[in-house]
Every structure is written in C-alpha cells, then in structure tokens.
Structure 1
Amino acid sequence: MEATGYQKLTIPTIHPVSKWKKRIPYLVAYGILGITTLPIILMYVWLLLSSFSKKMKFGFIPTSFTLENWSFLWSNVEHGGSELPSIWTATWNSFVFAGSLTILEVIIGIMAGYALARIEFTGRQTIMKMTLLLHAFPSVALLIAVFYILNFMGLFDSIWGVVLVKTALQIPMTAWIVKGFFDDVPWDVEWAGMIDGCSRFQVWYTIVIPLIKPGIAAISIFSFLSGWSEFLLLYTFTVSDNNVTLASYLQKLISDPNMINYGLLSAVSLFYMLPVLVFFIFTQKSLMQVSAGGGKRV
C-alpha cells in the first residue's frame, strides 16, 4: 500500500466582503451614536469657545480671545444695575447642600433598605408597593405645603431646610435600590456572624455593609449629582444672597432676557460643570462595578 503521509491542511481564506459584512453592525451602531451625540458635543464646544471669546461670528466662530468672561472668579459681577453675590459663596453653598444631602440620604437609605430587606413588620408590603409612587410624585405639587412647613419650623430661607425636604423626597427610591443589594447578601453570612457572638448591629455594620459597597457608592454618586443640580426647591425656599447656590446664580444671569451676557453665562456654566466632571472621573470605576437589578425577595 502506498503511504498516505501527512494530510495537507488548507486554511480557508476570508473574503474581504465577508469582513465588511461582520463590521456592518458595528459601523451602524457607531454611526447612530455619533449622529445622536453630535449635537451635544457641538453644544459643549460652543460653550467652551464662547466662554473665552468676546464675540462669536456666525454664532459659532470666536473672533477674539479674552479672559474677561471669567472675571467672576476674582470679582463680583454687576448685572442689571445690581451686584451679584460672590461666586465662591454660591460654590460653597452648593457643596454644603449636595454633601449634606448625600450623607443624610446614604445613612437613612441604608437603614431603611436593610429594614425592608430583612425585617418582617406590619405594612412592609404596602410600603414597598408605595415606594416608587412616592418617588414619582412631582415635587412641584408640594411647594405650597412645604412652604408652610418650613415657615412653621423657622427653616424658610435656609439651606438646611431644603436639605431635609430633598432628602425626604429622595429616600423612597434610595431605600428601594439599597434593598436590592441587601437581598443579594445571603442570610447565612449574617447567621454565621451571630453564631460567632456578634450582635445584630455588629453583623450589619462589620459584615453586611462592606458587602454592598458598590451599592453605597452608586447611591452616594447619584445623591451628590442630584443635590448639585437641584434648582427648583433652592430657588423657591432660599431667597437671600447668603444662601445662593450655583444653580440660582445662573438663574440671576438669565433673569432679564434683554441683558444676557452669553460669554459670562458660558463661563459660569462651565465653572458649574467642572466639579461634576471631576467627581465623575474619580467615581466612574465604582459605577462600573454596580450590577443592574436587585434581589427578587419581597
């Protein structure tokens, strides 16, 4: 018999057309994303160019470079015949409001979420069913009622009063999100801690809380961003210049449509965005670790 030897291996050649067919879905996806995000990108580019320009030719091309629009950083701005508060006062108030809201919301939300996930009590099912409805209730419909409450408590024209109101409106959704993370923690972990001699609080604080750090990071980020961008409640319930925030500061710049300085408005808007961008850069890794969805236990 004739030896057959090794069989010759043939590597199939990939036709260029088939390569392009595989890339078509990616090209379509990136094309759609590029088209939909292009207006947003152009908007931010215009904002940057306008903040460093005295005048924009054809509404988009800067004619000359200037730092005059950023003079609010070292001096107070005069607008409409009056002097606006210091931008640093507004910045400090915005940080105080967003930071206080974040701390309160995280602490209360964690405790409420744990109670909903682990403790059986009367009305538990009703509370969970009403949670999303309470969060969806428009805050603008409560403005008059909130005004009377804050005025009665002596907290009108106080940032701390608005912090309490905003916290109360945010807690339902925060507790619901945290409950999902607690549902993902097995009961066996808690039982093992209590068998080792830990109290219920020690188990919750030293064992369970570290296991839901991604969830805590997520609600902290969203709470801070929600507080930083808040306008309606702060504009309604804080009226003095000492309690002005950056959102209210921007409103003062556009209060008179006939006197808007778009260069100054662009510069202040960029300044308002910078802390959010920095905050997102340092927290995006925590956001990426958050898994979508929670436990199914009710």
Structure 2
Amino acid sequence: MTTTAPTTATASIDRPTVVAPARRTRRRRRRPRVGTNIVAIVFSIVWIFPVYWMVNTAFKPRAEVMNPTPHFVPYQPTVQNFVVAITQSDFLRDLLNSLIVVIGALIISLALALFASAALSRFRFRGRRVIMIVILAVQMLPATALLIPQFLIFNDLGLLDSYFGLILAYVASVLPFSIWTLRGFFVTIPVEVEEAAMMDGASTWRTLRSVLFPLVVPGVISTSVFAFISAWNEYILAYTFMKDQTMYTLPIWLVSFSTPTTGTDYGGQMAASVLFALPVVIFFLVIQRHLVTGMSAGAVKG
C-alpha cells in the first residue's frame, strides 16, 4: 500500500510533461508562417510583373506606349498591335517553320535520350562513366563556344538553310540535358522489376519496350517540356544557320519589330511576344499535372 500511492502520484505528475512538448509542436505547425508567406508573395510579384507589363503594353495604343508616365492599366485598350503583328509580318510562315523544327528536334532528341539513358543506367559496359562525364561536360559548355565549330561542320556538310540541319543543331543542344534527366527516372526503377520480366522469358528489347519505357513516361513528359522550351526560344542557331528569310523561325521574327531605320515598335513587339509565348503556356498547362509528377519521381540521387 505504501509503494503504490507514490507510483500513481508520480505517474499523474509526470504525464503532462510528456504530452506538453507534442502539443507545443502541433501548435507551432499550425501557426501561419508570416515571414515565409511575405517572401513568397514578394518573389511572385517580382517574377510576374514583367509578364504583366508585357501583356499590358500589348493592349496599349502607340501614344500610351510612348508616354513617359507609366500606365499600369490601358486607358484605351486596343487589339491593333496584335493585328499588326499577325498581318504586317510573316508570322504564320515563321510559326510553321518553328513548329517543324522544334517538333522534329523534340522527337529525335527524346528517342535518342530514351535509349541512351536506358543504356547508361541499366547496362554495365566499359567506358560508361567516361561517356556520362563527357555528356555532362558538353552540357556545361556555353552555346556560343560551340557556335563556330558547328557552323563550319554544317557548312561543309551542306546542311545550312535547311530544316534538317537546324533540327540536328537543336538536337545537339538539348540532348545532353535530356539524357541526364531521363537517366534519373531509370535509376528509380527497381532492378527486381526487370529481373522478373526476364525470368518470365522476356528478351532485353521486350523488357525495355513493355516494362521500363512505360514506367518512365512521366520522365519523358518532364523532359519534353524543358526540351520544347529550350528549342522554341533558341535564336542564335536559327539566325546563324538560316540565311534565307523564308526559313526564319519565330525568335527571329520577334526581333524584326526593332530595326535601325524605323526604330522599335514597342506595342507590336509586346503583342508579338504574347503570341510567341502563348504556345509554350498552352503546352505547359495541358501537361502540368504530369510535369509535377514526373519531376518529383525523378528527383533522386542517381
């Protein structure tokens, strides 16, 4: 009787000290992070303001665009800048050129990156690490450093002023990034899945086609977004390799609104920028859910 009472009393006294830290932790988690939210809001405003100003300027008449006093909302909204951008330039022709070149480069680069990343992640062969280091080194080089050698090689091969030549140049620029990104997705696939398919009698090609490739579809989607944006916004290669104006792409068309003789049509240029960014935005919105899933699935140490 004398030993039971102190034990019960001690337990009743010690119980609040054990539960209290957990309750304090929950309360801390429930408190709004005011500082983090403010920083996020400020960062979002700084990031979105140039986009807003581009759209705002695109709907302004020329008088408001050239007014030294900034107007954050158009006083007299107009779509004349969009009409000028579409009708008084080669927008449709250059849009077709961009679609042909970018889609061709995207298909070829994804196909090559898919097989290359599968080989670098699932097979063991001599020189595999050297190849990976070389791919990473090529990706780290600036594009302007490779411009002159590429131009000389393509000139000797007769690939200038052609869709195929520009597609190959775009493939060379986006392929290293695509290989490294897709390799991260292949590394996440357990080896047991591949071994189980081979034990059931599947060949190497059947295992790749029916087991591994379907599992890296989120990675293909994520890689396609970044490859598409990189090829769509490319200007230097298109301007250097294409001397025929009928072969120009949209980035070169965008620069045509600023000339030494007539100056810069800021309203038309901003309207053209909106039209130029619209396909990328639509493409991103369509596959946004798959993009987030793919980025989180491939974010592992490989």
The TM-score with structure 2 as length reference comes to: 0.82
Paired with 2:248 and 2:171, the residues of 1 have a C-alpha distance of 19
Cα displacement (A) at 1:64? 2.3
What amino acid maps onto 1:65 in structure 2? P
Which residue does the alignment assign to 2:70? Answer: 59
Partner of 1:250: 254
1:37 to partner: Cα distance: 2.7
SS in 2 for 1:230: coil
Q: Is the 8 A contact 1:69 1:267 kept in 2?
A: yes
1:293 aligns with 2:286: no
Matched residue, 1:33: 40
1:22 is matched with which residue? 31
Q: Are 1:231 and 2:235 an aligned pair?
A: yes
Q: Deviations over 1:190-224 (max 9, x none)?
A: 22222222221011001111111111111111111
The aligned counterpart of 1:168 is: 172
User: How far apart are 1:73 and its partner, in Å?
Assistant: 5.8
Post-superposition CA distance 1:205-255 (Å, at most 9, x none): 011111111111111111111111111111111122211111111112124
Long gaps (5+) in structure 1: 1-13, 78-85
2:3 matched residue in structure 1: none
Q: Within the alignment, does 1:104 sit opposite 2:90 as a pair? A: no
Q: Which residue of 2 aligns with 1:82?
A: none
For residues 40 and 186 of structure 1, the distance between their equivalents in structure 2, rounded to whole angstroms, comes to 39
CA distance in 2, matches of 1:259, 1:76: 16
Tell me what 2:52 maps to.
45
| One-letter amino acid of the counterpart of residue 76, structure 1 | Q
Q: The residue matched to 1:219 in structure 2 has which SS?
A: helix
Question: What are the equivalent positions in structure 2 for 1:64-213 lying under 5 Å apart?
Answer: 64-72=76-84, 75-77=87-89, 86-213=90-217
Q: Which deviates further from its counterpart, 37-46 or 90-99?
A: 37-46
Distance 2:120 2:156 in 1: 32
- CA RMSD in angstroms, aligned pairs only: 2.4
How far is 1:116 from its partner? 0.6
Paired-residue identity, %: 28
**How many residue pairs align between the two structures?**
271
| 1:266 paired to 2:270 | yes
Contact 2:94/2:250 (<8 A) preserved: yes
Give the letter for the 1:232 counterpart.
I
Distance in structure 2 (CA, Å) of the matches to 1:182 and 1:41: 35
Partner of 1:218: 222
Distance 1:97 1:109 in 2: 18
Question: 1:48 & 1:137 partners in 2: Cα distance?
Answer: 34
Conserved 8 A contact 2:85-2:269: no
For structure 2, which runs of at least 5 residues remain unmatched after alignment?
A: 1-22
Deviation at 1:74, TM superposition (A): 5.2
Alpha-carbon offset, residue 258 of structure 1: 5.9
- Residues 97-119 of structure 1: CA distance to partner in whole angstroms, max 9, x if unpaired? 22111111110001000111122
How far apart, CA to CA, are the structure 2 residues paired with 1:60 and 1:160? 45
Distance (Å, rounded) in 2 between the aligned partners of 1:45 and 1:144: 37
The one-character-per-residue Cα deviations of 1:15-61 (angstroms, maximum 9, x if unpaired) are xxx89x922x2x21221122223233332222222212213241325
Query: What's the TM-score, normalizing by structure 1?
Result: 0.83
Distance verdict in 2 for CA 1:42–1:180, change over 3 Å: closer
Q: 1:256 to 1:36 in 2, by over 3 A?
A: farther
Shift in Å, 1:263: 0.8
Larger % of helix: which? 2
Which amino acid is 1:22 matched to?
A: R
